[in-house]
Structure 1
């Protein structure tokens, strides 16, 4: 498990003004075997790795307001940057009086050299411009530029900035030298911009191109009371909820730039219905992610061109993407549909899973969460009959139903969220309700995401 380079947390500031070579080597992706005897050992090793990587002071004093889960890239992805600025937009779920930025070189094989980082409020509806008067320099250990060793992430020093809840931040990262895009969150459902030269400090940039991924950016944390609340929320009431899942959590099929993923809508419910302005909701979803196995595309298949974006198995990445989040107290787990659907398409046929396999995987996550003092809530898997990708078979449906029944009734999770009941068609309960179907029979649309968020009991997060 890669370790994290982190400067001392330091106090909240007073208020005031790969790299691998560009000719890519082939990427070899190993599968995680589903063996009943490995669960306890895996739980112990991942928890220990998280303990080594986490910044304890960061977790105590700061609350995550935005995050994404990183992956590596396929050999065919030749995306690279050189003497260019990435202006990337992220959406806050809770506000504060100061922030920190987390850069990542998790999958890089060479040092990541960052020439400058700046942050400000993004002009609404335009990811290229920063609201006047909000631009701030971001430093790491008191300096820029900063170099991240391969396999590491690094938090910035605290930055004094009033950060509203539900605001867009523009994070500008200047990359002075040829830099392969080895560490990415492929599906941002957000328009980000690439501009020539070091224009990180410019109020507005002329984009050479627009991308819908996040590069080298892993998180934002805040401290202090949100400026858009009267009383705010003190650090004692601060917490973060992590949504841990696949493409449905990541926001596939939602409106780009509108922040209508179910975790986004949940954050708005917590604020508007429960007055929970101090609670962050962090999205750790990855499109194509499986609970039990790493990507393992069949040799020579088209899946070799995209499978590495699916990320490490949920049981392996949990420590990195959930336990290492600042002020994480709760996690909602929605995984399993890709374990059912990938074999024979994006993975070998012999990787078909049983209900017992998936339940053991859920138990691994429960053990990892409880070992770190988090409450963990299981979400039922959505129906997929009639989907365009061929995920559905009667045999897989039987497994889905068995796992969902276990999530609902076994009592091993601290709480449950019944996304299946919230999204299925009452007349055909193995299918999504047509009003919630994006059109592929698998991913909910914006209305479906709202229905999912509405199904989350807010009293889980006390």
Structure 2
């Protein structure tokens, strides 16, 4: 008990500083009564809304099930936003949908819904199956949207946009514009067997997939999801809650991991395990963050997840020598943090050593060139697959509920 109290006392100072830098809207979501998350993307402010705009967004499911439902978010809006038409179908090619698959979504029985600033909403379940590895397409229209838009900018997935309401159309003819972001949509869940659960990858741009090949689902959580489909465990789903540039302790590229933990992780349905892989952005920012600061931050996340009945797997911080912001001081902190993670594994439910997997055997401060996406911090497709292959899938099959 003393250790947890010390962690939380130390984090008060850290989180107060972060709050001064950027106010974070309080999460207003409540998870659905049942279901398991099959796809997710962390929401943050990604620009300004456009009225009478339609978005046709492609997302890739991890775990299969029945009766899918989506979650829409206005978490970072400063005024209400109305969705007057929302559909979901299966992708055939590009913006074109498989014949007969496009179905209207309702919200408490209504075909339209208005979200107040800071809030989220789940759709009603759509009867029927949704297979693992499906390209689900969610089309929505906002008649009078204005102000900040909530979404996820770096989707690494081609989606589509248009003016006017063409959400009910299965043809892609009226969806001429391609976009690389997801707008308002941050969750898809399905109903599964009661024992089935998901793991949420809480991370930064490496988890978000930067330097992996777009439109092919080659982020490390995607590779992990494919492994889980073949594994003889109950954890089958994977939700990628990575944000490029994200930090553990301070807001910046979206809310910090500490400040978004409730909305992006603990409010999600069917989550058994949290996979925490963050810290490099705290180090390369040269903001004076120490190893002890990061260790306390990890501890706060672990404590809150455990209090919510979730297990936590923590990874070491990967090497980044060669990145412009690398320096010996940041490297020293990285090594101290990694040593702590390796030698205090009893504080976590499991440890995965991504540093060991990705580093060069000739220079432990640098990524192995075979895995390097070219900027010395983000792995390529081979590196992403190696990370996923390094995860002990049995360590994910853990539940504290």
TM-score (norm 1): 0.79
- Structure-2 separation of matches of 1:246 and 1:375: 20
Contact 2:78 2:147 (C-alpha < 8 Å) held by counterparts: no
1:192 counterpart = 2:159:
yes
In the TM superposition, what is the alpha-carbon distance from 1:352 to its structure 2 partner? Answer: 1.9
Per the TM alignment, residue 37 of structure 1 is displaced from its structure 2 partner at its CA by: 5.5
- Find the counterpart in structure 1 of residue 22 from structure 2: none
Question: Is residue 165–residue 277 contact of structure 1 (8 Å, CA) maintained in 2?
Answer: no
Residues 1:437 and 2:372 aligned together: yes
Give, in whole Å, the separation in 1 of the partners of 2:91 and 2:162. 16
Confirm or deny: 8 A CA contact 1:415 1:460 kept in the other structure: yes
Give the secondary-structure state (helix, strand or coil) at the position aligned to 1:260.
coil
Given that residues 246 and 288 in structure 1 are in contact (C-alpha distance below 8 angstroms), is that contact kept between their aligned partners in structure 2?
yes
Residues 286-323 of structure 1, C-alpha deviation per residue, up to 9 Å, x if partnerless?
0000000012xxxxxxxxxxxxxx11111111111110
Q: How does 1:359-370 map to 2 (within 5 A)?
A: 359-370=295-306
Q: Structure 1: state its 5+ residue gaps.
A: 1-33, 43-48, 225-233, 296-309, 344-350
Structure 2 partner of 1:12: none
Q: Which of 258, 280, 305 is the equivalent residue of 1:315? A: 258
Distance 1:413 1:325 in 2: 21
Q: Deviations along 1:14-68, whole A, 9 cap, x unmatched?
A: xxxxxxxxxxxxxxxxxxxx982617999xxxxxx77x7433xx25x20000011
Q: Which of 228, 236, 239 is the matching residue for 1:282?
A: 239
Quick check: 1:88–1:127 contact (8 Å CA) kept in 2? no
Q: Cα distance 1:173–1:358, how it changes in 2: closer, same or farther (>3 A)? A: same
1:262 matched residue in structure 2 = 220
Residue 347 of structure 2 aligns to a residue whose secondary structure is: coil
Corresponding residue for 2:351? Answer: 416
Once superposed, what is the RMSD of the aligned Cα atoms? 1.9
Please name the residue that 2:282 is paired with: 339
Residue in 1 that maps onto 2:385: 450
Counterpart CA distance in 2 for 1:192 and 1:109 is: 25
Residue 25 of structure 1: aligned partner: none
Aligned-partner Cα distance in 1 for 2:9–2:374: 36
Are 1:404 and 2:380 an aligned pair? no
Q: Deviation of residue 276 (structure 1)?
A: 4.8
Deviation at 1:121, TM superposition (A): 1.0
Deviations 1:366-411 (A, max 9, x none): 1111110110011011101112xx2211111110011011111112
Residue 95 of structure 1: aligned partner: 64
Query: Deviations 1:70-93 (Å, cap 9, x if unpaired)?
Result: 1124xxx4x432222100000000
**67, 75, 79: which is aligned to 2:40?**
67
Q: CA deviation at 1:161?
A: 3.0
Secondary structure, counterpart of 1:249 in structure 2: helix
Aligned positions, number:
379
| Contact 1:90–1:170 under 8 Å retained in 2 | yes
Question: Residues of 1 paired with 2:319 and 2:200: CA distance?
Answer: 23
Unpaired runs of 5+ residues, structure 2, are 1-7, 17-25
Deviation at 1:208, TM superposition (A): 3.4
Alignment partner of 1:38 is 2:5: no
TM-score (norm 2): 0.90
- Separation in 2 of the partners of 1:277 and 1:365? 24
Shift of the 183–37 alpha-carbon distance from structure 1 to 2, 3 Å rule, reads closer
The CA distance in 2 between the partners of 1:221 and 1:184, in whole Å, is 18
Q: Once the two structures are superposed, what CA deviation does each residue of 1:84-135 show, in whole Å capped at 9, x if it has no partner?
A: 2100000000111210010000001111111100001111xx3301111211
1:381 aligned onto 2:355: no
**CA distance in structure 2 between the partners assigned to 1:381 and 1:240 by the alignment:** 23
Partner residue of 2:132 out of 157, 162, 165: 165
Give 1:196 shift.
Answer: 2.4
Note if contact 1:134-1:161 (Cα within 8 Å) is conserved in structure 2. no
Seen in structure 2, the aligned counterparts of structure 1 residues 40 and 439 have a Cα distance that, compared at 3 Å, is closer
Q: Is 1:133 paired with 2:94? A: no
Q: Is the 8 A contact 1:63 1:223 kept in 2?
A: yes
Does the CA contact (< 8 Å) of 1:95 and 1:165 recur in 2? yes
Taking the aligned partners of 1:215 and 1:53, their CA distance within structure 2 comes to 17
**Distance in 2 (alpha carbons) for counterparts of 1:412 and 1:112:** 43
Match for residue 122 of structure 1? 91
Deviation at 1:275, TM superposition (A): 4.2
1:13 is matched with none
The reply on whether 1:54 has 2:11 as its aligned counterpart is: no
For residues 232-278 of structure 1, the C-alpha deviation after alignment (integer angstroms, 9 at most, x for no partner) is xx22x211100000000010111111101001100101112x14576
Cα distance, 1:144 vs structure 2:
1.6
Equivalent residues of 1:89, 1:122 under 8 A apart: yes
Does structure 1 conserve the Cα–Cα contact (< 8 Å) formed by 2:35 and 2:191? yes
SS at match of 2:198: strand
Match of 1:143 in 2: 110
